[in-house]
Chains A and B, each alone.
Chain A
Amino acid sequence: MTDLLISGIIYGSIITIGAIGLTLMTDILGFFNFAYGDFFTLGAFGTLAFLAIFPDLGTFTGLSFGWTMIFAVILSALATVAVMLLFDFLFFRRLRNMGVTSLFMSLASLGVSFILRAIIYIVWGPKVQYYSREIQLSRDLGLGISMKVDELFILICVLFLVAMVFYFLKYTKIGKSLRAVSDNKMLAQASGMRPSRVIMWTWIICGLLAGVGGTLYGIQVQLNPSMGWNFMITLFVAVIMGGIGSFWGAMIAGMTIGIAGEMVTGLLQNLATAMQLQANISVYKPAIAFIFVIVILLLKPQGLFGKPKFNLKQ
């Protein structure tokens, strides 16, 4: 039971990192970016590539990876930002200037997603890869809690990042202008905020989150070129459930989906085993999130913390 809760919290915290970036992007850019999942993958594989460059300095305090991971993650996050800005410059910027509708932008981001995923497939191949082949055992942390050191690392990273993003949005000048644009685009423009600057900063924040989030996801599961694409639907579910543009909504929805997904499938699996049924329920973990979103959308179409009349067409 506690084990299920802990793995749910880990899964939920990774969803949270992705969902915060995605909710910000959806809100400020005004369209559902279907390429976001592949930027996640890019972040994970970028870290793999940078890890290979550095010499192995050994591991520390039971982590399955070494000190070099920290540098690799930072470089990979920066690289993800660079690729995002490149795609924006080559593609999304032109579409914005053409003034296409938000649905059409989403469709266009699908093309970008394919290009990015194809490049990842071609460069790294379709094989499953790992940061470390070492198999970690859970350690007892007292109070009946036991988790792997890697998982503790993920939790600390997520907490740190969430705090950073919160600080950025709340107290810095650029963060404030981001929130202003998210609240009312016209008014923000009239107050002298340059849309191009706000959009650039959105890409930067989302790129950093995707780079680090992808790496954390890669630590928890294996790396394969479709990992981000498959994860993206869960992220969108968290974004919609939390309400588009809502920081706290994304966090709460991400944690709920993570914990509920693990708990429900885990408990049902235990039940099936107890009843000696031949059933593999854990494969339906993503489906739990989908059921969630459908229920939420029917009850409260704007999400838990969404703006009452969010309209993507505006």
Chain B
Amino acid sequence: MVNYFFSYLVMAGLYGIMALALNMQWGYTGLMNFGIGAFYMLGAYSSAILTSSPSADYIGGFGLPVLIGIAGAAVIAGLIAYLLAFPALKLRGGPFAIALLAIQETLFLLVKNESWLTNGVTGIRGIPRPFIDFFSPQNYVYFYAVVSIGVMVLVYFAIERAVNSPWGRVLRGIREDETLTVMSGKDCTAFMRQSFVFSSIIMGVAGALYVHYTGFVSPQVFSPLMSTFLVWFMVTVGGTGNNRGVILGAFLVWAVWIGSDFISDMVPASMATQIGFIRMLFVGLILTITILTRPQGLLTKKLSVIKLFMEKEEY
């Protein structure tokens, strides 16, 4: 039971990192990125290929140290985000969301089918788990919960620092009113690109941390549902534009998602497969009810930039 709780903490921490990164894009910059799972997946696979032991079935298995794997994940996620930013940031709003969703689907298809690179649906095994020798396999989860929460706290402080700087103020300005920010002499697209790349790097690191926790990676984990939309729900429920809020949202939504396992244990086995989907219903209901009752999420955001200049209705 305690073990179960700590494995919850590990995943909630990782989702917390994802939610913080998404909050940077959506909550602060106003980028509706429906493809965040792609960067999580890129990070995960980069680190997996760099650090796993060599294999005959696919390229890679370079057996490099874990830290290099994580750095590689950050570099590759950041680089691809940088390259994608140029075409994608010509779009705004809904079309941007759909373009990113399409990019994610394409990358997902590639990872699932190009088995020379990713070993296809079989997935990559034998990814090193750092410091596993010091712990028994049962106790490893305690150590990793500390790692995951620790990194989440680091990311929290880094993002808080970034968004409260003059740079972050420009981002919030873009979110509130892009035209006004352009008029103040800021290159909005450049700022958006920086925010996009910065948060994609964080997502890549989250992906790398995930594969070093499980020691195994396969495409199923990165379906748009699990890797993108769940994070979106966390951010919306927790409080868009509030970093403490999105962490709360991550822990809450993941608790509901995981907690539904207990319900499927209670019903007869014949119904178990269908009841497994009740978690989807729960998170959907949580999202819609939050939006109807508290549109800004559980924790509301701080005073925005443009409000200082003009009264503008929030949402």
Footprint of B on A, CB under 8 Å?
Answer: 26, 31-32, 91, 94-95, 98-104, 106-108, 110-115, 117-119, 121-122, 125-126, 233, 236-237, 240, 280, 283-284, 286-287, 289-291, 293-294, 297-298, 301, 312-313
Contact = CB atoms under 8 A, between A and B. Distances in A.
B58 to A, nearest CB: 14
Given A112-B284, A118-B278, A106 B97 contact: yes
B114 to A, nearest CB: 9
A91 B105 CA distance: 29
B275 A122 contact: yes
Interface string B255-280: 00000000000000000011101111
Contacts of B292: 91, 94-95
A301 B232 CA distance: 26
Main secondary structure on A side of the interface with B: helix
B272 to A, nearest CB: 11
Given A32-B94, A103-B94, A110-B229, A119 B281 contact: yes
28 contacts: A32-B97, A94-B292, A99-B315, A100-B315, A103-B32, A104-B295, A106-B32, A106-B97, A107-B32, A108-B288, A110-B229, A110-B287, A111-B233, A111-B288, A111-B291, A121-B274, A121-B280, A126-B273, A126-B277, A233-B105, A237-B98, A240-B98, A283-B109, A297-B87, A297-B90, A297-B99, A301-B90, A312-B94
A86 to B, nearest CB: 13
B295 A98 contact: yes
A303 to B, nearest CB: 9
Contacts of A125: 273-274
Nearest to B289: A111
Contacts of B141: none
A102 B315 CA distance: 9
A236 B91 CA distance: 15
B99 A294 contact: yes
Nearest to A119: B281
Contact of B98 (A101, A112, A236): A236
Given A104-B315, A115-B284, A290 B106 contact: yes
Contact of A283 (B30, B93, B113, B313): B113
Nearest to A116: B284
A118 B282 CA distance: 9
B285 A32 contact: no
Main secondary structure on B side of the interface with A: helix
B250 interface: no
Contacts of A287: 105-106, 109
Contacts, number: 131
A240 B229 CA distance: 21
Contacts of B97: 32, 103, 106
A114 B236 contact: no
A301 to B, nearest CB: 7
B288 A112 contact: yes
B102 interface: yes
A286 to B, nearest CB: 6
Contacts of A237: 98, 102
List 4 tightest A-B contacts by C-beta distance, closest first: A114-B284, A111-B287, A118-B281, A118-B280
B94 A102 contact: yes
A121 B277 contact: yes
Contacts of B103: 290, 294
B284 A101 contact: no
A125 B236 CA distance: 29
A248 B103 CA distance: 26
Contacts of B98: 32, 233, 236-237, 240, 293
A122 B95 contact: no
Contact of B288 (A103, A115, A117, A233): A115
Given A32-B97, A280-B113, A117 B280 contact: yes
Contacts of A313: 93
B283 interface: yes
Contact of A114 (B91, B94, B105, B280): B280
A94 B295 CA distance: 12
A298 B90 contact: yes
A43 B142 CA distance: 47
A97 to B, nearest CB: 11
Interface string B88-130: 0011011101110111011001001100000000000000000
